[in-house]
Amino acid sequence: MKLEIAVLSGDGIGPEVTSQAVKAMEAIAHRFDHSFTFKDALVGAIAIEKTGNPLPDKTLQLCADTDAVLFGAIGDPKYDNNPSAPVRPEQGLLRLRKELGLYANIRPVKAYETLLDKSPLKRKIIEGTDISIYRELTGGIYFGEKRLNDEGTIASDLCEYSKEEIERISHLAFKAAQKRRKKLTLVDKANVLESSRLWRKVVTEIATEYPDVGLDFLFVDNAAMQMILNPSQFDVILTENMFGDIISDEASVIGGSIGLLASASVGDTCCMFEPIHGSYPQATGKGIANPIAAILSAAMLLEHFDLMDEANAIKEAVEKALELNITTPDLNSLNPLTTEKVGDFIYDYILNPEDSNINF
Ligand code: IPM
Ligand code: MN
């Protein structure tokens, strides 16, 4: 298969981890005889620095013209504590999601057998956890009208959803549940929010089209508690934009490191793949960032194009690295490897899974 991929590595550790993901895809192209072409473009703080715009037109055009986007991370501390900054790196990512119509963000969370003792949560709590979070990504409070009164003393962010916005991601979530353990949990705050009540109504209606999927509902506060008390009860979680943002960071604790969590953002015509972690500025250039979330995002890209053997080859290489403790300091305090070394192992393993001489 021929694929043209836009690479938006962004800020902080973004470039370091994304280059390992590109490397893993190059190994896949070689082993399975595909042709992947990578085209770099600017986004985030680095784009503001170079062009004044966190999402330059050229970048957006490239993303629209290519088959898929591989995204790194964005964000720089110099914007975080400056509420009056006229442009912010995050605006680049949010606009990209909106312009490309990436309404469904899929975040898998898994407790790897070999990492059960790395999580701060007890082994017996997290064992068997395998969740797929479907987070709505282009609506809700992130994109509703924002207001600040003239005195700068009253601010508001509107959380708005239409029936259509709820329907399109719900169908994807139900279809995913059908291929998994056939359970879908809608996370909302329907005891308080009108928008949540609309979610419940629409999702309940859609559920009749998927009679083999069991549907239940959880208020987001309870869901946050259940996520650390009994995460293996979940199969597919469906939720709105902000709840999904929060719940997915919380869920990352289960796997032992946020540096393991990948995501896919899909719409009707475009798709983008990115680790859920941020730009981790303190780690920039130190070679300590975990490249696995970025590498697994590349696996999700391959899955999206139905390249299942190829995606599995990446996942097997990652699982081997975890099993052999070929990991960065977030998972390995005794004998940590660098970002690049972990990427090298995964690259070599993809090319040569049988070669037991791989020596690390
Ligand atoms: C994420 C991030 C973004 C979000 C930020 C960087 C805008 O936290 O992808 O989860 O809130 O969606
Ligand atoms: Mn987030």
Instruction: Tell me the per-residue pLDDT of 28-50, one tens digit each, with 9 for 90 and over.
Output: 999 999 999 999 999 999 999 99
pLDDT score for 81: 82
Check whether residue 11 and residue 37 sit in a common domain: yes
The answer to whether residue 221 sits within a structural domain is yes
Residue 130 annotated in active site: no
- pLDDT of 355: 75
Residue 242 CA to ligand 1 center (angstroms) comes to 9
Q: 199 and 99, same structural domain?
A: no
Domain membership flag for residue 260: no
79-98 pLDDT, tens digit per residue, is: 988 878 889 999 999 999 99
Note if 249 is an active site residue.
Answer: yes
Instruction: Over range 51-65, report the average pLDDT.
Output: 98
Give catalytic status of residue 221 as yes or no.
yes
| Mean pLDDT taken over the chain | 96
94 and 142 inside one domain: no
What pLDDT is stored for residue 85 in this prediction?
A: 85
202-221 residue pLDDT tens: 999 999 999 999 999 999 99
Complex ipTM: 0.99
pLDDT of residue 314: 98
Does residue 11 have a known ligand-binding role? no
Residues 130 and 235 in one domain: yes
Options 65, 80, 216, 221, the catalytic residue:
221
Mean pLDDT (whole number) for 228-234: 97
What pLDDT sits at residue 82?
82
Residues above pLDDT 70, as percent of the chain: 99
- Does one domain contain both 73 and 26? yes
**Residue whose CB lies within 8 A of the most ligand 1 atoms, among 13, 93, 134, 246, for a mutation test:** 93
Residue 31 is assigned to a ligand binding site: no
- The C-alpha atoms of residue 58 and residue 96 are separated, in whole angstroms, by 12
Q: What is the mean pLDDT of residues 160-178?
A: 98
* Chain-centroid distance, C-alpha 354: 30
Report the distance separating Cα 289 and Cα 296, nearest Å: 14
208 and 334, same structural domain?
no
Mean pLDDT, residues 326-352: 96
| pLDDT interval class at 168 (50, 70, 90) | very high
Nearby residues for ligand 2 (ion, Cβ within 5 Å): 245
Of 255, 288, 304, the residue at which a domain comes to its end is 255
43 lines ligand 1 (CB under 6 A): no
- Is pLDDT of 357 > 60? no
Is 142 a catalytic site residue? yes
Tell me, what's the pLDDT at 349?
98
In whole angstroms, what is the distance from residue 230 CA to residue 12 CA? 34
CATH of the domain at 293: 3.40.718.10
| Domain total of the chain | 2
Write out the residue range of the structural domain in which residue 14 sits: 1-103+271-360
Whole-number pLDDT of residue 83: 76
For range 171-191, the mean pLDDT? 98
The pLDDT score that the predictor gives to residue 360 is: 63
Q: Tell me: is residue 107 an annotated ligand-binding position.
A: yes
Q: Residue 32 phi/psi, 5° resolution?
A: -105, 10
pLDDT above 70 (res 225): yes
Picking from 230, 255, 280, the residue at the C-terminal end of a domain is 255
For residue 201, the CA-to-ligand 1 centroid distance in Å is 27
Residues 277, 250 share a domain: no
Across 1-15, 52-66, 82-96, 222-236, least confident range: 82-96
Residues 77, 36, single domain; the answer is: yes
Q: Which of 99, 92, 25 is nearest to 64 (CA)?
A: 99
Which of 195, 228, 255 is the endpoint of a domain? 255
Query: Does residue 63 contact residue 41 with C-beta atoms inside 8 Å?
Result: yes
Is residue 356 over pLDDT 60? Answer: no
User: Would you say the CB of residue 76 lies under 6 angstroms from ligand 1?
Assistant: no
Is 93 close to ligand 1, i.e. is its CB under 6 Å away? yes
Q: Is 136 in the pocket of ligand 1 (CB under 6 A)?
A: no
- SS3 sequence, the chain? CEEEEEEEEECCCHHHHHHHHHHHHHHHHHHHCCEEEEEECCCCHHHHHHHCCCCCHHHHHHHHHCCEEEEEECCCHHHHCCCCCCCCHHHHHHHHHHHCCCCEEEEEEECCHHHCCCCCCCHHHHCCCEEEEEEECCCHHHCCCEEECCCCCCEEECCCCCHHHHHHHHHHHHHHHHHCCCEEEEEECCCCCHHHHHHHHHHHHHHCCCCCCEEEEEEHHHHHHHHHHCHHHCCEEEECHHHHHHHHHHHHHHHCCHHHCEEEEECCCCEEEEECCCCCHHHCCCCCCCCHHHHHHHHHHHHHCCCHHHHHHHHHHHHHHHHCCCCCCCCCCCCCCCHHHHHHHHHHHHHCCCCCCCCC
Pairwise CA distance, residues 341 & 358, whole Å = 12
Q: Which of 273, 291, 328 is nearest to 17 (CA)?
A: 291
Please indicate whether residue 276, judged by its CB atom, sits closer than 6 Å to ligand 1. yes
